Chains A and B, each alone.
Chain A
Amino acid sequence: MKLSFSPEVEAFREEFLAWLADNRPSQEEMDADPALSSAHSPAWAREWTKRMFDAGWLVPGWPPERGGRDAGAVETLVYMEELTKAGVPRTTNPQGLGIIAPSILDYGTPEQIEQYAMPVLRGERTACLGMSEPGAGSDLAALSTRAVRDGDRYVVNGQKVWTSGANYAEFCFLFCRTDPDAPKHKGISILLVDMDTPGITVRPLPEIVDPEHPDLNEVFFDDVIVPAENLVGVENNGWRMANGSLAHERSMVWLDSVMRLEYQVEHLVEETPALIAGLPPMEQGVALDQVMSVYTDVMAARCLGYRGFAKYVKGAAAPEQALMKAFASETHQRMGLVASEIQGGHGIDMLGGIGIEADTSWLEVYFHSFASTISAGSSEIQRNIISEKVLGLPRS
């Protein structure tokens, strides 16, 4: 156990920090043209992604032939820490960079890599992940969007929902059913579908917070023609590919949410004296107890994350990692609640309320947190996973 990393790792941190200082987009640049969805890349973001990729800093953990620098897991973690601290997004298309491009690199043809994966890494194209459907949410393998092979093409019909960034993405990494007779996990394939193909309709779903900037969408496929060469990997093998690559990055997906929690709780602690100033002493005590409880959760999230990561780096089982998603997202939710409630009557104010960003109130933080407790495996699904995979309890 050590509180700090080795000198080699710290040297790596310094090297990246020096590069970052010289190459990062400015705050003014980013504020002037913000990303509007998880597949929207403003000009500065496209340039930034390309600059990082060309310098070997977009995917430092990858080998040089894929644009990385063979950084180890700890170095990659340090790299992510510094990007987050600097307030610079690594990408404005997280699914494209984190899941879609690496999956194509692992399973795609040379042509697919050239036309789809590399452009994502160079910031030239953005992508969305077509997974959830009206009838396939937590039970994702129940998906029913159909792709029927017809000579050298597929004909796709069906509907996706909760598709982040589909309103801006240039192509979709689409999970669809190619064998309706096989057991449900075994009849799924992945197609690369250009979003401007005729027959695709995207309908944004404004959210309960910030409805002017929807990120989630319904996507309808009506006799959409997809060239057969856009099949990724082997037909009917799509489910396995969904769980494929990027072990390194999966081992540190918690980092972003933990750092956001830390940033927010620091803000909350700073604002607390002003928030509770008007309360009678008894209520101040209760408010402080609740704020400290949230603070404890945030510090625990940090320690759990680093502890699980250290185990992962050692090659040991890291059960903490299974806990992180539910814990971090629920902590976020409690923080929004506590911070808004201690404001009393002003907790309901929309603007000018005290929050993480000038225009976001804590109550909105609370509502926004449901995006994390529901999506990508709800908290309930997380508890099933913990109890079955980590604790060894039998399936229901």
Chain B
Amino acid sequence: MELEFTDEQLELRDNVRDVLEGQCPRSLVRAVYEHEADADARVQALWSQITELYWQGVAVPEELGGLGLTYVELAIVAEELGRATAPGPFLATVTQFAPLVLAVGDTDAQQRFLAPVAAGERTGTVAFAEGDRWELGAVRTTATRTGDGWVLSGAKTTVLDGTTADDIAVIARGEDGVGVFVVPSTAVKATARDVIDPTFIVTDLTLDGVVVPDDAVLAAPGTPGVEEQIERAWQEATVAIALSTIGACRKIFEDTLQYAKDRVQYDKPIGSFQAIKHRLANMYLSLERATALSYYAALTIAEDDPRRAEAAALAKAAAGDCQRLLATDGLQLHGGIGYTWEHDLHFWLKRAKTGEYLLGTATTQRAHLAQLLGLTPEVAA
């Protein structure tokens, strides 16, 4: 196992980081946080930059207009976007909608829904969770066959970009099992929630008899293999959120480390005190633990290795452990200054935290992992 980036991958990371330092400065994040008048326009301009650079098409096959690179490259971009607390449609469109269309759609559907994403012309998202459970067993939204299509009814929770994405891939249940349907976001009732990190648009959806024509059905209920395909796509989404969280944690770590070197008390940098040093060593360890597992997971996806389901759960669980420690100790070690609104630290704290609650917390991932390993609690009588 060669778990280190190639030179090309390192170059991609550096390029993405450079671009984001210029195009997604802290002032942009602050504009979003403080609802400045030009915030939406600046977020849109950032997305335009990203699409010009083709990051949205990194892992899309070349025949659909993408760059045809692997999931590892996509993971690198996701980590850097987290590091920059970048707002915008990348996570929902590129790490959720695109993999799902690719996994379950036929060639026509891929051309129709994915090619415009690769071209940077359309955005998308996936409506999966119900009751905040991102699992197929929790899907209660119904898909009912009508004469020339399907009708969807139900409620989805915690959908990224539900108010802004062009297309929403809805996972719904018909008589024969789950299926996947693409609906325009204008067809659903979406409510954006007021969440702690405004760089994420988090919505709840109501589908009240939404009509889906046959040509917008990615997979009809009961299509053989559809459940596994959805799960595989969702592994990609899960590892991307893990790496976005890790990116934010890496920034917290770097800033906290610098602060410990700069801040002088008792005539010494506070980073010379062992109480501080050992906490920083623990933070670093937790960060590298999560990073190593997440790129391992990215690699299992890139190589389509059978361990990918387990690896994705491990990655998100470790990212969860990481943000717990990094947010707590990062804020604690910054002292009073990190507690102020004017300091930028809280942008990264909130990005790291938000990533934990999306797509299942570390505890949920460990429970999933136990299932994958064949361990489930016996239900006592």
CB within 8 Å of B: which residues of A?
Answer: 1-5, 269, 272-273, 276-277, 280-281, 284-285, 288-289, 291-293, 295-297, 299-300, 303-304, 306-307, 310-311, 314, 316, 319-320, 323, 326-327, 380, 382-384, 386-388, 390-396
Is B367 in contact with chain A by the CB < 8 A criterion? yes
Is B348 in contact with chain A by the CB < 8 A criterion? no
Task: For A291, list chain B residues within 8 Å (CB).
Answer: 370, 375
A278 to B303, CA, bound (A): 41
Stretch at the interface among B27-35, B216-224, B265-273: B265-273
Question: Looking at B281, B369, B379, which has the most chain A CB atoms within 10 Å of its CB?
Answer: B281
Q: Binary interface profile of B, 34-48, with partner A (CB < 8 Å = 1, else 0)?
A: 000000000000000
The total of interchain contacts (Cβ-Cβ below 8 angstroms) comes to 154
A300 to B311, CA, bound (A): 10
User: CB distance A383 to B277 under 8 Å?
Assistant: yes
A387 to B257, CA, bound (A): 10
Query: Known contacts being A1-B9, A1-B295, A387-B281, is A289 close to B4, with CB within 8 Å?
Result: no
Query: Known contacts being A1-B302, A386-B281, A387-B277, is A307 close to B295, with CB within 8 Å?
Result: yes
Q: Give the distance to chain B from A315, nearest Cβ to Cβ, in Å.
A: 11
Query: Known contacts being A3-B305, A292-B366, is A311 close to B4, with CB within 8 Å?
Result: yes
A303 to B4, CA, bound (A): 10
Q: Of B1, B4, B72, which one neighbours A314 at CB under 8 angstroms?
A: B4
Task: For B296, list chain A residues within 8 Å (CB).
Answer: 299, 303
User: CB distance A300 to B5 under 8 Å?
Assistant: no
User: CB distance B261 to A394 under 8 Å?
Assistant: yes
For window 268-304 of B, CB contacts with A under 8 Å fall at: 268-269, 271-274, 276-278, 280-282, 284-285, 288-290, 292-293, 295-296, 298-300, 302-303
A314 to B2, CA, bound (A): 10
- The residue of chain B having its C-beta at the shortest distance from the C-beta of A303 within the complex is B292
Q: Give the distance to chain B from A254, nearest Cβ to Cβ, in Å.
A: 12
A2 to B295, CA, bound (A): 11
Is B239 in contact with chain A by the CB < 8 A criterion? no
Q: Of B268, B369, B380, which one neighbours A296 at CB under 8 angstroms?
A: B369
Is B22 in contact with chain A by the CB < 8 A criterion? no
A394 to B376, CA, bound (A): 48
Q: Of A3, A303, A382, A395, which one neighbours B303 at CB under 8 angstroms?
A: A3
Q: Give the distance to chain A from B75, nearest Cβ to Cβ, in Å.
A: 10
User: CB distance A323 to B378 under 8 Å?
Assistant: no
A5 to B1, CA, bound (A): 6
User: CB distance A386 to B284 under 8 Å?
Assistant: yes
Q: Of B257, B285, B288, B366, which one neighbours A288 at CB under 8 angstroms?
A: B366
Q: Of A1, A273, A383, which one neighbours B72 at CB under 8 angstroms?
A: A1
Task: For A380, list chain B residues within 8 Å (CB).
Answer: 278
- The residue of chain A having its C-beta at the shortest distance from the C-beta of B261 within the complex is A393
A391 to B272, CA, bound (A): 11
User: CB distance B284 to A316 under 8 Å?
Assistant: no
Is B312 in contact with chain A by the CB < 8 A criterion? no
A307 to B269, CA, bound (A): 32
Task: For A304, list chain B residues within 8 Å (CB).
Answer: 288-289, 292
User: CB distance B4 to A1 under 8 Å?
Assistant: yes
Q: Give the distance to chain B from A279, nearest Cβ to Cβ, in Å.
A: 8
User: CB distance A394 to B269 under 8 Å?
Assistant: yes
User: CB distance B278 to A295 under 8 Å?
Assistant: no
Q: Binary interface profile of B, 350-369, with partner A (CB < 8 Å = 1, else 0)?
A: 00000000000001001101
Task: For A323, list chain B residues within 8 Å (CB).
Answer: 284-285, 288
Query: Known contacts being A387-B281, A394-B269, is A320 close to B288, with CB within 8 Å?
Result: yes
New A-B contacts (9) at CB < 8 Å, excluding given A2-B303, A391-B257: A1-B3, A1-B5, A4-B1, A304-B292, A310-B2, A310-B3, A391-B280, A395-B272, A396-B274
Q: Of A5, A284, A388, A391, which one neighbours B377 at CB under 8 angstroms?
A: A284
Is B74 in contact with chain A by the CB < 8 A criterion? no
User: CB distance B268 to A289 under 8 Å?
Assistant: no
Is B318 in contact with chain A by the CB < 8 A criterion? yes
Is B20 in contact with chain A by the CB < 8 A criterion? no
User: CB distance B1 to A2 under 8 Å?
Assistant: yes
User: CB distance A327 to B281 under 8 Å?
Assistant: no
A393 to B85, CA, bound (A): 27
A285 to B3, CA, bound (A): 33
Q: Binary interface profile of B, 221-254, with partner A (CB < 8 Å = 1, else 0)?
A: 0000000000000000000000000000000000
Task: For B370, list chain A residues within 8 Å (CB).
Answer: 288-289, 291-292
Query: Known contacts being A1-B4, A300-B292, A300-B318, is A281 close to B269, with CB within 8 Å?
Result: no
User: CB distance A285 to B377 under 8 Å?
Assistant: yes
A138 to B173, CA, bound (A): 63
- The residue of chain B having its C-beta at the shortest distance from the C-beta of A386 within the complex is B281
Query: Known contacts being A277-B378, A394-B272, is A327 close to B3, with CB within 8 Å?
Result: no
Task: For A311, list chain B residues within 8 Å (CB).
Answer: 4
Task: For A277, list chain B residues within 8 Å (CB).
Answer: 378
Q: Give the distance to chain A from B4, nearest Cβ to Cβ, in Å.
A: 4
Task: For A269, list chain B residues within 8 Å (CB).
Answer: 373, 375
A346 to B369, CA, bound (A): 26
A379 to B5, CA, bound (A): 29
Task: For B295, list chain A residues within 8 Å (CB).
Answer: 1, 303, 307
Task: For A396, list chain B residues within 8 Å (CB).
Answer: 272-274, 277
- The residue of chain B having its C-beta at the shortest distance from the C-beta of A295 within the complex is B369
Task: For B317, list chain A residues within 8 Å (CB).
Answer: 292-293, 296
Can you list 6 pairs linking A and B with CB atoms under 8 Å apart?
A288-B370, A288-B376, A289-B367, A295-B369, A300-B289, A303-B295
Is B340 in contact with chain A by the CB < 8 A criterion? no
Task: For A388, list chain B residues within 8 Å (CB).
Answer: 277
Task: For B1, list chain A residues within 8 Å (CB).
Answer: 2-5, 306, 310
User: CB distance A319 to B288 under 8 Å?
Assistant: yes
User: CB distance B274 to A384 under 8 Å?
Assistant: yes
User: CB distance B2 to A390 under 8 Å?
Assistant: no
User: CB distance A306 to B293 under 8 Å?
Assistant: no
Q: Give the distance to chain A from B74, nearest Cβ to Cβ, in Å.
A: 13
Task: For A319, list chain B residues within 8 Å (CB).
Answer: 288
A368 to B243, CA, bound (A): 36
A281 to B257, CA, bound (A): 43
Q: Give the distance to chain B from A316, nearest Cβ to Cβ, in Å.
A: 7
Task: For B2, list chain A residues within 8 Å (CB).
Answer: 1-2, 5, 306, 310
Q: Binary interface profile of B, 201-226, with partner A (CB < 8 Å = 1, else 0)?
A: 00000000000000000000000000
User: CB distance A281 to B4 under 8 Å?
Assistant: no
User: CB distance B366 to A293 under 8 Å?
Assistant: yes
User: CB distance B277 to A384 under 8 Å?
Assistant: yes
- The residue of chain B having its C-beta at the shortest distance from the C-beta of A380 within the complex is B278
Task: For B293, list chain A residues within 8 Å (CB).
Answer: 296, 299-300, 303
User: CB distance A280 to B375 under 8 Å?
Assistant: no
Q: Give the distance to chain B from A266, nearest Cβ to Cβ, in Å.
A: 10
User: CB distance B272 to A393 under 8 Å?
Assistant: yes
A291 to B370, CA, bound (A): 9
Question: Looking at B276, B298, B302, B369, which has the most chain A CB atoms within 10 Å of its CB?
Answer: B369
User: CB distance B272 to A327 under 8 Å?
Assistant: no
Question: Looking at A3, A295, A316, A393, which has the most chain B CB atoms within 10 Å of its CB?
Answer: A393
